[in-house]
Amino acid sequence: MASVGEPEIAKLMLLGVRVGGTPYLPTQFRWGYGWPYPRLYGALTEAELMQVELKHAEQMQVKALGNKALDQ
């Protein structure tokens, strides 16, 4: 926003992201949403990494099936 001549709006948006995205609030748009609350800043555990890999593989399968359906 600042690059298109709206520096005040850019600052307001940044403030909103900084305050609203904190992991300390139980909102749907916080840092770590989707993990059990509270999921604070930090590296993923081995178990969490496995969850991510499984979810990613599931999403890739769904995407592949969707692409096949579109091709038909």
Per-residue confidence of the chain (72 residues) as pLDDT tens digits? 556 678 899 899 999 888 888 888 887 777 777 888 888 888 999 999 999 999 999 999 998 888 766 666
Going from the C-alpha of 54 to that of each of 18, 25, 51, the distances in angstroms are: 30, 27, 5
Distance CA 62, CA 23 (A): 30
pTM over 0.95: no
Our count of domains for the chain comes to 2
One domain, residues 34 and 4:
yes
One domain, residues 17 and 29:
yes
Range of the domain at 12: 1-39
